[in-house]
Amino acid sequence: MTELNGAAVPEPLRKFFAAHPRPALAFSGGADSAYLLYAARSCGCDVRPYIVRSAFQPEFELADARRLAEQLGAALTELPVDVLADETVAANPADRCYHCKRALFTALIAAAAADGRETVIDGTNASDDAGDRPGMRALAELGVLSPLRLCGITKADVREYSRAAGLFTWDKPAYACLATRFPAGTPLTAENLKRVEGAEAALFALGFTDFRARWFCGAARLQFPAGQLAEAAARRGEIRAALAPCFDIVLLDLKDR
């Protein structure tokens, strides 16, 4: 179990948890919610993490969430939600994230309430731009609190505090849900989401990081950081073979991620 070092929790966050001692945490396995779980546990909170399992979530995120919860001695509640059953979400409009967040957090809030927890928190941080995130509007409407944002804690702060705490997520790249790989207006199906997930898993296995495999008219359009573009081009045959089970056509986007 990871040692709970209170020194890695700033005073504003301590005050938040003193005021909210039994929160339900929307937990993803990413750097922000991982640090928030650590901070809550360090402050002696009776926090319960909930991870929503949906077609938009890759398996490695679930594995990371389970690993982190175990290391911090927190009982993880896994909540399956068929988000594609929502016709608006499946249609993938420009404001899909708003409708998706409402569906997922409505389910999470109901589960938390059934467990006797009225306060629901998430890992939105002070670096997240509300103007570019329609999902944040849904969270505000549902009364979800974002302690990191409320306390002025940025993404850089999260990484520094997480590193000091010894969390393996401290340098984990940001990972948007699989639905973001599809252009707005392209209907979302479980099969196509799995194809994209499989393509990205194959790229991870080849050693690439912080990339995206985006859906482009049935093909995979790969985006890599500038420092990995040359390697990706040099290994195009290897990449093509690795992604063959998922996509017949694989394209390399020369604009870096």
**pLDDT cut 70: percent of the chain above it:** 96
- pLDDT tens by residue, 80-124: 999 999 999 999 999 999 999 999 999 999 999 999 999 999 999
Q: What is the pTM of this model?
A: 0.91
**Does the CA dihedral 190-87-109-101 come out positive or negative?**
positive
Q: How many residues does the chain have?
A: 257
In the predicted structure, residue 169 carries a pLDDT above the cut 90: yes
- pLDDT tens by residue, 6-29: 668 999 999 999 999 999 999 998
Give residue 7's pLDDT. 67
Cα dist. 158→40, 46, 171 in Å?
14, 21, 10
In the predicted structure, residue 148 carries a pLDDT above the cut 60: yes
The continuous run of DSSP H or E covering 197 comes out as helix 190-205
> In degrees rounded to 5, what are phi and psi of residue 60?
-65, -30
| Beta carbons within 8 Å of 25's beta carbon, 6+ residues apart | 33, 36, 37, 40, 47, 48, 49, 50, 120, 121, 122, 123
Give residue 152's pLDDT. 95
**pLDDT cut 90: percent of the chain above it:** 88
- Tell me which residue has tokens 């063959």: 244
**Which tokens belong to 56?**
């938009």
- pLDDT tens by residue, 247-256: 999 999 988 7
Taking each helix axis from N to C end, the angle separating 31-42 and 59-71, rounded to the nearest 10 degrees, works out to 20
63, burial (CB in 10 Å: exposed 0-12, middle 13-18, buried 19+):
exposed
Among the residue ranges 57-61, 79-83, 146-150, 189-193, the one predicted with the least confidence is 57-61
